[in-house]
Amino acid sequence: MNKTNVLTMLSLCSAGILPAFSEQAPKQTRPNILYIMSDDHAYQAISAYGHGLNQTPNIDRLANEGALFTRGFVTNSLCAPSRSVLLTGKFNHLNGKIDNRGSFDWDQMNFPKLLQQNGYQTALIGKIHLSGNPQGFDYSNVLPGQGNYYNPDFIENGVEKQYQGYVTTLTTQFALDWLDKKRDKSKPFCLMLHEKAPHRNWQPEEKYLNLYEDHDFPVPDNYFDDYSGRGTAAHTQEMEIAKYMSWGPDLKFENDPYTGKPTKLMNNLKRFNEAQLKAWRAAYNPRNEAFMKNKPEGKDLAIWKYQRYMRDYLRCIKSVDDAVGEVLDYLKANGLDENTIVIYTSDQGFYLGEHGWFDKRFMYEESMRTPLLVRYPKEIKAGTVVSALVQNLDYAPTILDYAGVPKPAEMQGESFRGLASGKDVKNWREAIYYHYYEYPAEHRVKRHYGIRTNRFKLIHFYYDIDEWELYDLEKDPHEMHSVYNDPAYAEVQARLHKQLDGLREKYKDKPGLMETFPAKK
């Protein structure tokens, strides 16, 4: 190749038109990527984050041997929108998937497509919750919609089939099977392993049905929050454990303890085989009978519900943690652990009783934040802690960066590769942008957008209200008291408004743009 040809090749590579690396390039220069994401896994329920609720020794391995991000956030705390941001590196107002309803445009650019074009083998296994056939994957085996915990259907490369077994175990098995037998081992891989658990309504694996039964979890200090100090949105949500958990699928009663009528739990249990049903009833029936004998009331009942929720939720996480251990062991046993970047995250955070809530959606901390742990021994020192503001918007650019593939101009996130390897990254962002749209809908969390800096959070609730909230996270980490219009914060407020306008402009989220996606009543 002469000099001009080399230069042409280089410029075509950097424009993303030609593969960034030729097929002959030494394989070890291109790392594998194992992206593990669970559904609704709160950072409070990962022991590496230090909340002391439960133990997740396998997920913790990623933090002990790699980096733990303490300020990882999503741009919209809901499943399908979060996944669309992950794939495209673009905010929802530009990738079109603003809420869980409506279709997703798979024809648009996504990072697995770019990896594929650059010689990677790609696979998507587990929950994706985006309608249509996944694009960008050499292999896909996904749950339809939300999927089921027991004996679920999977759609393998477009063909749907029911499998016997527990969803977390099956998803992990399919992932190991692809790694071991189905992929082209001459190419680097990007495997997206998406666990359904611990999504509502928290059906534990048979072997964990009794785990934590004798353990009482600490009740958050603001469990009996009365929402004073905040605006309409916090008062009108439908996320309170005490009020909105169903006796059937959520709290596991086959008959309503007050009316005696059959609950909807049986709909869920229809997929169970006899042995599974037997194990399930052996676990829940005696507990439910004990409840019937001594029905708690008022605050005691609210705490009882919290305990049942936490036990089931954390049981589901136990299986997820096992799964992470299995894949990490596989990488190690097969000599893949040094050259594979392992990422663990969730599609958003979750309330574990804070403000009395379950679910997510709000820009308040527990749902806007999400766990993020990254292991890559070649670049990331064991025990690294990153406190810079990062978002799921950054995942696609980061993965492309590690793979040596140029980031397309339309991607809005930034690579956090430098932060993970402990570099002092100059000019890293000082604020992040959030926008939630799914209203009116289940849980009735009003539409809102806002900005979060290291210390402050400014939120605008809109659509059928027009209210602002401002939090000083240093003085009020649990967001109990909005200081919007408090004269002591006048300067901060003005600055945040300006910064928010700047972010909306930077990310091209124009006032009124969301009206192009009319809310369904």
Tokens linked to 514: 């969301």
C-alpha span between 162 and 153 (Å, rounded): 4
C-alpha span between 235 and 244 (Å, rounded): 14
Q: Measured from the CB of residue 6, what is the shortest distance to ligand SGN in angstroms?
A: 48
Burial of 358 (C-beta count, 10 Å sphere; 0-12/13-18/19+)? buried
Look at the block and give the residue holding tokens 């559904």. Answer: 39
Choice between 189 and 439, CB closer to ligand SGN: 439
Among 195, 359, 394, 469, binds ligand SGN (CB under 6 A): 359
Residue 446 found at the interface with ligand SGN (CB under 6 A):
no
Q: Measured from the CB of residue 100, what is the shortest distance to ligand SGN in angstroms?
A: 5
Residue 451 found at the interface with ligand SGN (CB under 6 A):
no
Burial of 445 (C-beta count, 10 Å sphere; 0-12/13-18/19+)? buried
Choice between 100 and 255, CB closer to ligand SGN: 100
Tokens linked to 174: 């399919």
Number of residues that bind ligand SGN (CB under 6 A): 12
C-alpha span between 15 and 402 (Å, rounded): 17
Q: What is the DSSP letter of 43?
A: G
Half-sphere exposure of 257 (CA within 13 A, CB side): 19
Q: Which stretch binds ligand SGN (CB under 6 A): 45-53, 197-205, 254-262, 309-317?
A: 197-205
Contact yes or no for 90/410 (Cβ under 8 A): yes
Residue 196 found at the interface with ligand SGN (CB under 6 A):
no
Q: Measured from the CB of residue 244, what is the shortest distance to ligand SGN in angstroms?
A: 9
Residue 312 found at the interface with ligand SGN (CB under 6 A):
no
Choice between 93 and 199, CB closer to ligand SGN: 199
Say whether 356 sits in a helix, a strand or coil: helix
Q: Measured from the CB of residue 147, what is the shortest distance to ligand SGN in angstroms?
A: 10
Which amino acid, residue 502? G
Region 75-104 residues binding ligand SGN, contact defined as CB under 6 A: 78-79, 100
Handedness of CA 156, 161, 167, 168 (dihedral sign): negative
Choice between 202 and 468, CB closer to ligand SGN: 202
183 binds, among Ca ion, ligand SGN, none (CB under 5 to 8 A by kind): none
Choice between 168 and 340, CB closer to Ca ion: 168
443 binds, among ligand SGN, Ca ion, none (CB under 5 to 8 A by kind): ligand SGN
C-alpha span between 66 and 187 (Å, rounded): 25
Q: Which stretch binds ligand SGN (CB under 6 A): 184-192, 196-204, 444-452, 495-503?
A: 196-204
Q: How many CB atoms lie within 10 A of CB 510?
A: 10
C-alpha span between 406 and 161 (Å, rounded): 38
Nearest residue (beta carbon) to Ca ion: 79
Q: Measured from the CB of residue 152, what is the shortest distance to ligand SGN in angstroms?
A: 15
Q: Measured from the CB of residue 249, what is the shortest distance to ligand SGN in angstroms?
A: 6
191 binds, among ligand SGN, Ca ion, none (CB under 5 to 8 A by kind): none
Cis peptide before 112 (omega within 30 of 0): no
Residue 241 found at the interface with ligand SGN (CB under 6 A):
no
Q: Measured from the CB of residue 346, what is the shortest distance to Ca ion in angstroms?
A: 7
Burial of 263 (C-beta count, 10 Å sphere; 0-12/13-18/19+)? buried
Region 460-519 residues binding ligand SGN, contact defined as CB under 6 A: none
Cis peptide before 427 (omega within 30 of 0): no
Q: Measured from the CB of residue 367, what is the shortest distance to Ca ion in angstroms?
A: 10
Given strand 372-375, what is the order of strands in its sheet?
159-162, 153-156, 139-142, 121-126, 189-194, 32-38, 340-346, 372-375, 67-69, 384-386
C-alpha span between 368 and 130 (Å, rounded): 20
Choice between 82 and 482, CB closer to Ca ion: 82
373 binds, among Ca ion, ligand SGN, none (CB under 5 to 8 A by kind): none
Residue 317 found at the interface with ligand SGN (CB under 6 A):
no
Binding-site ranges for Ca ion (CB under 5 A): 39-40, 79, 347
Q: Measured from the CB of residue 69, what is the shortest distance to ligand SGN in angstroms?
A: 21
Residues 143-161 as b or e (16 or more Cβ within 10 Å = b): beeebbbbbbebbeeeeee
Closest CA to 157 of 185, 135, 177: 135
Q: Measured from the CB of residue 23, what is the shortest distance to Ca ion in angstroms?
A: 38
Please report, for residues 145, 292, 461, the alpha-carbon distance to residue 476 in angstroms, rounded to integers and kept in the order given: 38, 40, 20
Contact yes or no for 217/53 (Cβ under 8 A): yes
Q: Measured from the CB of residue 134, what is the shortest distance to Ca ion in angstroms?
A: 17
201 binds, among Ca ion, ligand SGN, none (CB under 5 to 8 A by kind): ligand SGN
276 binds, among ligand SGN, Ca ion, none (CB under 5 to 8 A by kind): none
C-alpha span between 306 and 313 (Å, rounded): 10
Region 198-217 residues binding ligand SGN, contact defined as CB under 6 A: 199-201
Q: What is the DSSP letter of 394?
A: G
C-alpha span between 436 and 76 (Å, rounded): 5
85 binds, among Ca ion, ligand SGN, none (CB under 5 to 8 A by kind): none
Residue 457 found at the interface with ligand SGN (CB under 6 A):
no
Site string for ligand SGN, 2-41 (x = CB under 6 A): -------------------------------------xx-
Q: Measured from the CB of residue 264, what is the shortest distance to ligand SGN in angstroms?
A: 9
Dihedrals phi, psi of 73, to nearest 5 degrees? -135, 165
Among 184, 221, 430, 442, binds ligand SGN (CB under 6 A): 442
- Interface with ligand SGN by CB under 6 A: which residues? 39-40, 78-79, 100, 129, 199-201, 359, 442-443
